[in-house]
Amino acid sequence: MKTKESFKSRLLGLQGNLLSFAYQLTSNREEAQDLLQDTTLKALDNEDKYVDNVNFKGWIFTIMRNIFINNYRQQVRQATVVDKTEDLYHLNISQDSGLDTPEGSVAMQEITAAISQFSEEYRVPFNMHVAGYKYNEIAEKLNLPLGTVKSRIFFARKQLREQLAAYNA
């Protein structure tokens, strides 16, 4: 009976430290309090697994850290999109493309028309960059110096911005 009381009193004595550590992990007060509560419950549920000669504070903090890591991994898994379409359609479209509306569709047509007016030396690197290629990959594929690729993409952006200035107004 005495060890149960000392376990609970030691656990209650660490609540302030645990809350500070939880806040460091989550950077959010409510999530930190939830993490503290989960840690306290887990520690109480596993009280019989605690061995007296083990560092109690370290044991509790390890429980909290593990709960945080497991929760984080679960959130990442839930946020992962699995695209089962044959051509990976869902992964290849922009999430906020704006094509849902007629205005967005017309705007996209105007942007495409403006890009098609670029000379090939600007259009090709710009389209590759928009498609997701990195500067060095574009330079390799086009057999151009890296600085040339960067400047061509910069000037293509600038030209596109000027041609579509009406959208910014």
> pLDDT per residue over 31-87, tens digit each?
999 999 999 999 999 988 888 778 899 999 999 999 998 888 888 777 766 656 665
Average pLDDT, integer, range 99-108: 56
Q: H or E element: which one contains 38?
A: helix 29-45
Q: For the whole prediction, is pTM greater than 0.75?
A: no
Residues in the chain: 169
| pLDDT on residue 150 | 92
Q: Which residue has the higher pLDDT, 107 or 21?
A: 21
| pLDDT on residue 1 | 47
Do 90 and 83 form a contact (C-beta atoms < 8 A)? Answer: yes
Q: Which residues contact 97 (CB under 8 A, 6 or more apart)?
A: 104, 108
| pLDDT on residue 128 | 87
pLDDT at 30 exceeding the cut of 70: yes
Q: Mind listing the pLDDT tens digit for each residue in 85-102?
A: 665 555 555 555 554 555
Give 115-121's long-range contacts (Cβ < 8 A, gap of 24+): 115/156, 115/160, 117/163, 118/156, 118/159, 121/152
Q: Mind listing the pLDDT tens digit for each residue in 114-166?
A: 888 888 888 888 888 888 888 888 999 999 999 999 999 898 888 888 887 76
